[in-house]
Structure 1
């Protein structure tokens, strides 16, 4: 087995195990916000959670494998983990990437919270009130689940896959994906996730057109930031920014501004 394969397997197992632990840690939060909805359909909560966990595990395996395989072709990667497994230490620019990710995560989280409480509240119950209703420790753990799993599925898998498609269609003179192709991939992944998120929320809270449109816009905004970080700084930077944004929304601002 060559060095590249060893690195890929190392990165795979780290990402997979971290994501699996984050899914387990998020289960108490899932019970808090979804238990009543599941009961209305007469389903067994443990069975629903087990099914969702198994489905999530399959998605994660596919996402990580595709991200590693196709990402190598189009220049999208997890540079920190790859560098560590190749015994090269932390990559150049690691410190600046951490600072940038933290800053952008706080800005994204604050923007979403302010828009939700300041604008959405004129039309319906703010979403952040519903999301911040579980206990603090559950919100803390759930923030890591969202940041890790979202980035693995949306950026490492979906954006990488879409970029690979655009790369097959058109390359730069250096054989790399075009900037237009990358941005189209980032935006499309954000839109698809926004549509899915709105659909999933409709089973828990009442949505109207203005609220649903606002959620879509905020998802595209956040997805663009995280997608840009993935493109320019790597998967770890996108994960850190996403986790920071969720901690800002659910833990910090969600605790300071409870109704």
Structure 2
């Protein structure tokens, strides 16, 4: 429930800051209020399913949210958080720099897109909601399936399956950003496809690696910090 609630913060932030902008670009048949309500409802169900998968299947394959688990169970979570922070902070800074670099080499059609993403939405949705959906949910499901049906539940998941799940979900994370081309009527050329999927998959792989090694919280911190670092650099340039 705690993880679901955290993910919903990002959903609500995007619903009220981004949907109105997207509606102006591509007006829907329904009123904006209905579009926002539908988006929140659909996302809440998807989040619930992914959180259920993470909570139910994650412990079987060694994927967890150790800090949140400790707090919910009234155990000390800060020592666990401090163990995650060094790698998460370093990854966040590196990924923030990478994000700025990617923006500088983006195809011209993408650079021409005029979309104002508030920092709070980038942090809450990108940093929290996407990590809950893609890492805690989808990555757990993919790894569990390989462990259950290929490895036959024989011991802990083999590293090859863990890294395969990480890469598969990173590519899925990248592909999940493709709808922007439809909203803004951008031609899906090979360069645009490679850029959107490749750049996001690279960052997603780093977040997935943190999830594998330390837990969900480290991936959330790194992803959220990525957007914060990028925003600071943009402001200074």
Q: TM-score, normalised by structure 2?
A: 0.89
Cα deviation, residue 70, structure 1: 0.3
Distance in 1 (alpha carbons) for counterparts of 2:43 and 2:67 = 24
Distance in 1 (alpha carbons) for counterparts of 2:151 and 2:100 = 39
- What's the counterpart of residue 141 of structure 1? 121
After superposition, residues 190-205 of structure 1 pair within 5 angstroms as 190-205=170-185
Q: Give the number of equivalent residue pairs.
A: 235
After superposition, residues 3-18 of structure 1 pair within 5 angstroms as 13-18=1-6
User: Unaligned 5+ residue runs, structure 1?
Assistant: 1-12
Answering whether residue 223 of structure 2 is matched by residue 238 of structure 1, we say: no
- What's the counterpart of residue 248 of structure 1? 229
The one of 192, 207, 226 equivalent to 1:226 is 207
Cα deviation, residue 91, structure 1: 6.2
Q: Are the counterparts in 2 of residues 151 and 238 from structure 1 also a CA contact under 8 Å?
A: yes
- Alpha-carbon RMSD: 2.2
Cα deviation, residue 64, structure 1: 0.5
User: Unaligned 5+ residue runs, structure 2?
Assistant: none
Q: Are the counterparts in 1 of residues 138 and 169 from structure 2 also a CA contact under 8 Å?
A: yes
Cα deviation, residue 32, structure 1: 4.9
- What's the counterpart of residue 95 of structure 2? 108
Q: Rate the CA distance shift 1:19–1:125 in 2: closer, same or farther, 3 A.
A: closer
The one of 25, 32, 49 equivalent to 2:36 is 49
- What's the counterpart of residue 11 of structure 2? 23
Show CA shifts across 1:151-182 (max 9, x none): 11101111000100111111697x10011101
Distance in 2 (alpha carbons) for counterparts of 1:183 and 1:79 = 20
Distance in 2 (alpha carbons) for counterparts of 1:202 and 1:248 = 28
Q: Are the counterparts in 2 of residues 79 and 234 from structure 1 also a CA contact under 8 Å?
A: yes
Distance in 2 (alpha carbons) for counterparts of 1:148 and 1:94 = 16
Show CA shifts across 1:216-241 (max 9, x none): 11111111101111111001111111
Show CA shifts across 1:160-215 (max 9, x none): 00100111111697x10011101111111111222231134332252432122012
Q: Are the counterparts in 1 of residues 15 and 40 from structure 2 also a CA contact under 8 Å?
A: no
Runs of 4+ in 1 over 6 A off after TM superposition: none
Distance in 1 (alpha carbons) for counterparts of 2:114 and 2:89 = 25
Answering whether residue 193 of structure 2 is matched by residue 212 of structure 1, we say: yes
Distance in 2 (alpha carbons) for counterparts of 1:215 and 1:65 = 29
